[in-house]
Amino acid sequence: MSIANRIRQKDIGNTGFAANSNIEGVRIVNPDGTNNLKKTGIPFYERISIYHSLLRMSRFQFSLAIFAFYTSINVVFAMIYFIIGVDHLSGVSATGPVYIRLLQAFFFSSQTLTTVGYGHIAPSGILTNFVASTESLFGILAFAVVTGLIYGRFSRPRAFLIFSENMLIAPYKGGRALMVRAASYKNNHLTDAEAQLTLALHVDENGRMVTRFYQLPLEIAKVSSLALSWTIVHPINDDSPLANLSKEQLLDSKLEVILNIKAFDDHFSNTVQQRTSFTYKQLIYGARFQPMFGRAGDGEYTLLELDKIGAHTPAELPELVEA
């Protein structure tokens, strides 16, 4: 009997993803929560939001982008000053080596762009003064934009959650359960946290690969505070789409489990959310998570060991009873 025929529950069709597996990539959602999707059909500059890209990129990438922007603008204006003639910059020797004149034009550009103006070099002539005034205006606007981006990056609400690398089929109340684990790794406080698990199952129907989506009911779908780790448990009972699937079928299936967590952050005073996914390659059958928190040695506080977010040990599971 095929996997599709063993699932009794009706699939859901309002996930926003396609049901045709032949048009999908290896996975629907990437581990960082982004959709595994690339868009074409319109020019690249219309598909990309520079603002959103700058907000989402890493600190190193953002710093590198700002440095590259600052350097390239100074190079452009330095070349303009050099073409006009460094003799129109008082304080610069017009008879020195070319690279020295270029460097002095570059340093004058950086002083003008940042409106520092040490006074050692000054523009002379209408054209040079016009270029310098234009660069000063551009510098004021550019630094205002960069300041806004830095503030936006610091103030952008984020959940700051980490997840276990694997999902487990673990013993649960005499039966089985699908489990994943999450924890907040910053010193923020998340309250009213809600979790949602969605199963994406790629099945063969009459020689055509299709994707069926199923909602996975949770043992506890909402917690009042996410101060410690949270083991998100889907009991594999009669109400579960996984109820009639054996170990071999689970490990061989092209399933993907999408996890979405939404919570309220007291520091941002805003709702935050984070998403990730687990594929069948990350499924471990017959294991349970190890404890990752306990009382500290002196007994004064609770210790949460974040490096144990995915730690697990083998566990015996009851035999699957055929329906």
In the chain, list all ranges with CATH 1.10.287.70.
Answer: 46-155
State the pLDDT at residue 23: 46
pLDDT (average), residues 46-64 = 89
Bigger pLDDT: 156 vs 73:
73
The 10s digit of each residue's pLDDT in 118-152 is: 777 888 889 999 999 999 999 999 999 999 999 98
Residue 255, Cβ density class (10 Å: 0-12 exposed, 13-18 middle, ≥19 buried): buried
Q: Express as a percent the part of the chain with pLDDT over 70.
A: 90
Question: Do 21 and 211 meet the contact criterion of CB atoms below 8 Å apart?
Answer: yes
pLDDT (average), residues 24-33 = 74
Bigger pLDDT: 132 vs 249:
132
In the chain, list all ranges with CATH 2.60.40.1400.
Answer: 3-36+158-314
The 10s digit of each residue's pLDDT in 267-298 is: 888 899 999 999 988 999 999 999 998 888 77
pLDDT (average), residues 8-36 = 65
State the pLDDT at residue 12: 62
Bigger pLDDT: 19 vs 158:
158
**Mean per-residue pLDDT of the chain:** 85
pLDDT (average), residues 210-226 = 90
Residue in this structure with the two tokens 């396609």, named with its chain if needed: 18
Question: Do 7 and 239 meet the contact criterion of CB atoms below 8 Å apart?
Answer: no
Q: Which neighbouring-strand residues pair with 122?
A: 90
Confidence of residue 156 (pLDDT cuts 50, 70, 90): confident
Q: Which CATH number fits domain 46-155: 1.10.10.10, 3.40.50.2300, 1.10.287.70, 3.30.230.10?
A: 1.10.287.70
Q: Is domain 3-36+158-314 in CATH 2.60.40.1400, yes or no?
A: yes
Rounded Cα gap, residues 263 and 313, in angstroms: 30
Query: Whole-angstrom distance between the N-terminal and C-terminal Cα of the chain?
Result: 12
Rounded Cα gap, residues 106 and 118, in angstroms: 14
- Whether residue 18 has pLDDT greater than 70: no
Q: 201-205 contacts: CB < 8 A, separation 24 or more?
A: 201/3, 201/4, 201/7, 201/241, 201/253, 201/254, 201/255, 201/256, 202/21, 202/24, 202/253, 202/254, 202/255, 202/256, 203/2, 203/3, 203/4, 203/254, 204/2, 204/4, 205/4
Report for 51-60, 113-122, 176-185: range of highest mean pLDDT: 176-185
- Whether residue 14 has pLDDT greater than 70: no
Confidence of residue 15 (pLDDT cuts 50, 70, 90): low
Rounded Cα gap, residues 190 and 223, in angstroms: 10
Question: Do 192 and 263 meet the contact criterion of CB atoms below 8 Å apart?
Answer: yes
- DSSP, collapsed to helix, strand or coil, labels residue 320 as coil
pLDDT (average), residues 18-22 = 53
